[in-house]
Each structure stands twice: as C-alpha cells, then as structure tokens.
Amino acid sequence: MLFAYFSPTRLDFDRLDLTLASSIETLASSIEIYGCRRACVWGRAVMSDGIQMQLECGNRVHGDLTEGFWDYHFTSDPLMRYLRDRRLHRALRELDKRGKLDPATQSVLLVCAGVGGEGVFLVNQGFVDVTVSDLSEKALELCRRFDGRLKTRALNAEDMSEVEDGSYDLVLVQDGLHHLPRPVLGFTEMLRVARTAVVVIEPHSGLVARAIGRRWEVYGDAINYVFRWNRNIFEQATRSYLLREDAEVIPCRFFDHNVMVNRTVSKLPLPHKAQVLAAKGIYGLLHFAAPIGNMMVGIVLKPSGPSPQRLVEH
C-alpha cells in the first residue's frame, strides 16, 4: 500500500507521514501517558491530580504581577508581534474564506488562555465579545489588569459543565490542549460549547516535530506530555463526538518555529520593519515544508440547524 503514496503525479507527504510515523507515535505516546499517570483509566482521581498540578503551577507562575514578565503578549515590537500573531492570523483567514468570520457580532471563548494574549489580539481585530478562560484565577487577575476590554471566566478545560451547549460562536485554543492530562477531552468540550466553529492551534505530529520539538514540558513540579495532533486524530475526535458527517473539518498543517526565526532575524543588522520582512522571507522559503510541518491550525465548522438524524446512516 505504501507504493500508492509515491505516485508520479502526487506525493502525499501528510498521508505518508501519518502512515509511517504518526500513528505509531500516537499509540506509543498514549501508552506512555497512561503509564506515567499510573493507569489513569482506573478513575478520575488520578487524572484530577494532573489538573491540580497545572492549577498550582499556574497560580505560582501567574502570581508574579510584574508586567515586564508578560510583555511578549502585549508588545508593540513589529517582529515579535508578527511572530506571535502569525498563527492567529492564519486561523482568521481560514474562517473568513468560508464566510464564518464576523467580529462585530460573534462571541468568542478562549480556552487555556492564561493572561489573555490571544484575547488582546482578537479585540484589536475588531471582536467586541471576547471571554478569556483559564484554570488559574491568578492568570485571569492579570488578564483583567492588562486589558479591561476582556471578560474572564475560571474554567477547567476538561470539564466546562457550567457552560451550556453552544454558548459561544467561536471557541479557540492556542498551545493549551497539550498541557491537559486529556487533550482530546478538552477538545470535545470545545466542540460542545461552540455554536459555529472551533479553532485549535496546536503542535502537529511528524518527523519535523520529533526533530525540533520537546516530548515533555516541566515547570517546577508540574509536568505534561506534549500531545501532538494529526489529520486522523483531529477528524476522528470530531466525528466521534458530533456524530455528524456534515461537519466541516479543516486541518491546516505548516511549519512554525518562532524562537528559531526570532533568534536568526534578531542577529541581522536591520531596522525593525526590515526584520519583519526577513522573518516573512524565511517562512516563505519554508512554505514547501508545509506538508511535513510541525504546527496545525485545525478548524471545525459545526453544521447549522438541528440534524434530522444525529447518527449518520451509511
């Protein structure tokens, strides 16, 4: 079957990568995650330990009210602004292309959003109803302090039971799900509370990700495995939860490494605007690497109106 992927007219890197590596990695990672969490499938108590660790870590980290520590979220530096907002701009473009972007009327819930950097981006793009949610009340305190335009809500992304189904037009996360003990559960909660669309900006599994990415993230005594998505996981998690064939699932894979690009460009003796052009040039050259990229902007467009029959008939 692998020979089919090497068609002279089409080399499908995404399918090949998934076949050779990602599925194996996902299975191995799942075993490793559950092993490290001492067979968490035996009950919720062990899983809640992971959430508790993240909460305690979040409160410690966000207990520092020194604004300079969080400047990268709110900086006006052109290069940092471009690098930080690039993925969010990509998400908004994908929504706009499909007629699902209306900042003046849409409500937005940001999940695992910390001090609200993504929220500031969205209100600056014209959104008027943006809620920043996080497990840490300390983080939300900083969010309210930094930008009074944002609403805040303390939520456990794995269990947002206090939020009714379809409460927000858009639900978005950036680099947050992979901090959860159960990333897919956090994703399905996003699907539940969204009315129109879900946007997931998270690491994509594959060869590049294994070469330049980290498997584990450790902050003090808090630890999380860096869960990476792929097309199959994203689509199957969506359809198994929504049970709707008419849901539009859009996984956009590309290359992204802001730290590396920033270090490279910052060394160049260029004015700020020229540094931005240099960063765009680097990513332009890396556009060819999109099929084996390390990042995903995944979008789910939920079907409008009730389904006459929720279960799909074949």
**Which has more pLDDT, 114 or 311?**
114
Fold classification of 15-301 is Rossmann fold (3.40.50)
Rounded Cα gap, residues 279 and 83, in angstroms: 8
Tell me the average pLDDT across 269-289: 94
Over the stretch 159-217, which tens digit does the pLDDT of each residue have?
Answer: 999 999 999 999 999 999 998 999 999 999 999 999 999 999 999 999 888 888 889 98
Task: Classify residue 295 by burial, with Cβ atoms within 10 Å: 0-12, 13-18, 19+.
Answer: buried
Over the stretch 51-69, which tens digit does the pLDDT of each residue have?
Answer: 776 676 666 666 666 555 6
pLDDT value for 220: 73
**Which has more pLDDT, 150 or 25?**
150
Cβ neighbours for 208, distance < 8 A, ≥ 6 positions apart? 255, 289, 292, 293, 294
Q: pLDDT above 70 covers what percent of the chain?
A: 75
**C-alpha atoms less than 13 angstroms from C-alpha of 74 in its C-beta half-sphere:** 16
Residue 158 three-state SS? coil
Position 29 pLDDT exceeds 70: no
pLDDT value for 60: 65
Domain ranges across the chain:
15-301
Q: pLDDT above 90 covers what percent of the chain?
A: 64
Pairing of strands 129-134, 107-111: parallel
Position 36 pLDDT exceeds 50: no
pLDDT value for 184: 97
Tell me the average pLDDT across 132-148: 94
pLDDT value for 73: 78
- pLDDT category at 13 given cuts 50, 70, 90 is very low
pLDDT value for 213: 86
Q: At what angle do helices 78-97 and 117-124 cross, to 10 degrees?
A: 70
Tell me the average pLDDT across 205-232: 88
pLDDT value for 64: 65
Sign of CA dihedral 222, 184, 14, 87: negative
Position 19 pLDDT exceeds 50: no
- pLDDT category at 76 given cuts 50, 70, 90 is confident
What is the DSSP secondary-structure string of 19-73?
Answer: IIIIHHHHHHHHHHHHHHTTSGGG-HHHHHHHHHHHHHHHHHHTT---GGGGHHH
Position 94 pLDDT exceeds 80: yes
- C-alpha 159: how far from its chain's center? 17
Position 20 pLDDT exceeds 90: no
**Which has more pLDDT, 30 or 145?**
145
Position 37 pLDDT exceeds 60: no
- pLDDT category at 35 given cuts 50, 70, 90 is very low
Pairing of strands 194-203, 295-301: antiparallel
**Which has more pLDDT, 70 or 261?**
261
pLDDT value for 71: 75
